Amino acid sequence: MARGLDHVVHVVRDLEAAGELYDMLGFTVGARNRHPWGTHNRLIQTPGFFVELLEVADPEAIPPHEDGKFSFGAFNRDFLDDVGQGLSMLVLEGRDPAADKEAFDTEGFGGFELFDFARTGKRPDGSDVEVAFTLAYARDPASPHTGFFTCKQLRPENFWAPDLQRHMNTTTGVAGVVLAAAEPERHLPFLAAFTDAPFRRAVDGWHIAKTPRGDVDLMSHALFTERFGVAAPPEEGLRLVATRFAVSDIDKARKRVASSRMAAEEIEGIIVISAQAGLGATLVFEPAA
């Protein structure tokens, strides 16, 4: 069964400024949380999916990569240094972390230990609560600047908060994510193994996988620019370039974006915030299906 979208990591240099940007766009943004390895985050939740705004707050605390051990902090620190702000990681829902790891290892896209961790989070009322996760990492050897893992919620009742899932822009969930590459077909074996879903060809250079929570679109640079009106990163490998949000009222979303005075373009009924305006991430609003 295909793995549904769980979250994306949007790594930024200034967490408060990023929170203000998403707030201006009409999202409810959660409080600052702290990881034990030097990164801080703030979350934008929708039912079953979230955006993780991430800041490298304490570089000295970040552990290095080791043989068989993936360092989340080091990956995002290096992404900022090498690429800049943007969507650094695609995360799918973990069903059985051990089975996910075994599948990735068998397909030749794994080789990392499972990673368990817990941290303190805050409820909307300000009270502290413990959340915990198990991560199974995968990698596309041809794509050094996009990270991939599955995430198993160990205390979901403490993590998901309906009050944080109400947004002034009427976002109701995730419609999908978009990855771009110079040669999309080259990455299909990896993405099929990672998502556990078949990809169908829409047109040459554009492949789509349906998951239980949102689509995964794989597009050539040219098709991405044609569809969304913005340029894709020029590198060869996979890059996570856009998050697509489903909204219940596109007119309200349009008004909210307009009130933010951010540069936006409307293309065939969708609203696009370019990566230049979106701190390295293309953000798309579209009517809910």
Q: Render pLDDT for 166-212 as a digit per residue (tens, 0 to 9).
A: 999 999 999 999 999 999 999 999 999 999 999 999 999 999 999 99
273 alpha carbon, distance to own chain's centre: 16
Q: What is the pLDDT of residue 71?
A: 96
238 alpha carbon, distance to own chain's centre: 14
Read off the pLDDT band of 125 (50, 70, 90).
confident
Tokens describing residue 130: 């413990």
Ordered by where they begin, the domains of the chain are 5-164 (3.10.180.10), 169-287 (3.10.180.10)
Residue from 47, 51, 26, 29 nearest 250 by CA: 26
Tell me the C-alpha distance between 116 and 244, whole Å: 29
pLDDT at residue 134 greater than cutoff 80: yes
Tens digits of residue pLDDT in 135-153: 999 999 999 999 999 999 9
Q: What is the pLDDT of residue 45?
A: 98
The pair phi, psi for residue 24, each rounded to 5°, is -60, -30
Which residues, other chains included, contact 20 with Cβ-Cβ below 8 Å and sequence gap of 6+?
none
Q: What is the pLDDT of residue 131?
A: 92
Tell me the C-alpha distance between 24 and 258, whole Å: 10
Tell me the C-alpha distance between 215 and 208, whole Å: 7
Return the number of other C-beta atoms located less than 10 Å from residue 289's C-beta.
6
The letter for the amino acid at 117 is F
Read off the pLDDT band of 128 (50, 70, 90).
confident
Q: What is the pLDDT of residue 262?
A: 87
**DSSP states of 223-264:** HHHHHHSSPPP-SSS-EEEEEEEEES-HHHHHHHHHHTT--E
Half-sphere exposure of 122 (CA within 13 A, CB side): 12
Query: Strand, coil or helix: what is 84?
Result: coil
Tell me the C-alpha distance between 180 and 282, whole Å: 12
Whether 9 and 280 have beta carbons less than 8 Å apart is answered as no
Tens digits of residue pLDDT in 157-169: 999 999 999 999 9
